Amino acid sequence: MTIAVDFDGTIVENQYPQIGKLQSGAKDTLQRLHREGHKIIIWTCRSGEMLAEAVNFLMENEIPFDRVNDNLRENIELYGGNSRKVFADVYIDDKNIFSGRWNWDHIYMYFFGDDGCVTFP
C-alpha cells in the first residue's frame, strides 16, 4: 500500500515555518508501516530550504520514507509519466483524517486493524 503523509500538523505539531515537536506515535507508526512493506511518501507544501530542513528532521529522527512530493517509480512507469498529483492508497493529513481527533494509534487501527491487514469500513 502507498501512504502519503503530510509533515506539518501530522508528523510534527504545526509550527510552520519552524519544525514543531514530533507528534506522539508518529515515528513508531511510520516505522511499523514501513517494516510491514508499505511505501511512504512525504506529502508537504514545504519547498526549498524548508523542505530540506523537514527531510533532515525525518532522517535524524529515523522516520522512514520512500519519496518526497513525488510518485513512486513503479507508478511513474505504470502510468507513463510523473504527474504533480501524488498517487497513494491512503492520505494522512491534519486537514482530513488526522484533524486533531485521531492519534497515530487510531490511524493504524483504522486502516490496518489488530492483525496489520488493510481494513476499510
**Number of Cβ within a 10 Å radius of residue 4:** 21
Per the model's pLDDT, the better-predicted residue between 34 and 107 turns out to be 34
What pLDDT digit, counting tens, does each position of 17-62 carry? Answer: 999 999 999 999 999 999 999 999 999 999 999 999 999 999 999 9
Domains, the chain, in order of start with CATH, read 2-112 (3.40.50.1000)
Q: Tell me, what's the pLDDT at 120?
A: 47
Which pTM was predicted?
Answer: 0.83
By DSSP bridging, strand 2-5 and strand 90-92 are parallel
| Residue of 38, 39, 91, 28 lying closest to 62 (CA atoms) | 28
